[in-house]
Amino acid sequence: MKQFEVPVKYRSPLISAIKQKRKQEDRLKKDYSPTLLDLGKVQFYLARHFGFCYGVENAIEIAFRTVAENPGKRIFLLSEMIHNPQVNADLESYGVKFLQDTYGKQLIPFDAIKEGDIVLIPAFGTTLHIEALLKEKGIQTEKYNTTCPFVEKVWNRSEQIAAKGYSIVIHGKPLHEETRATFSHASSGAPAVIVNDMKEAKVLGEYIMGTLPPESFYETFKGRYSSGFDVTRDLQRFGVVNQTTQLATDTQAIAEYLKGVMSEYYGLDSITITERFADTRDTLCYATNDNQTAVTGMLDTPADLAIVVGGYNSSNTTHLVELCEQRLPTYFISDAGKILSGTEILHYDFHSRQEQVSTDYLPSKSPLKILITSGASCPDAVVEEVIGKLARLLGTEVG
Q: How far is CA 234 from the centre of its chain?
A: 28
- Residue closest to 110 by CA, chosen among 73, 80, 137: 137
The active-site residue, picked from 80, 131, 177, 178, is: 178
- Residue closest to 63 by CA, chosen among 160, 187, 146: 146
Is 177 considered catalytic here?
no
- Round to whole Å and give the CA distance between 159 and 293: 29
Q: Which residues contact 175 (CB under 8 A, 6 or more apart)?
A: 103, 104
- Residue closest to 188 by CA, chosen among 149, 232, 132, 235: 132
CA angle 245, 224, 241 (to 5 degrees): 40
How far separated are the first and last CA of the chain, in Å rounded?
29
Amino acid at 305: L
**H-run or E-run covering 261:** helix 248-266
User: Which CA distances in Å does 363 have to 143, 304, 329, 356, 368?
Assistant: 51, 7, 11, 19, 7
| DSSP track, 149-183 | HHHHHHHHHHHHHHTTT-EEEEES-TTSHHHHHHH
Residues taking part in catalysis = 178
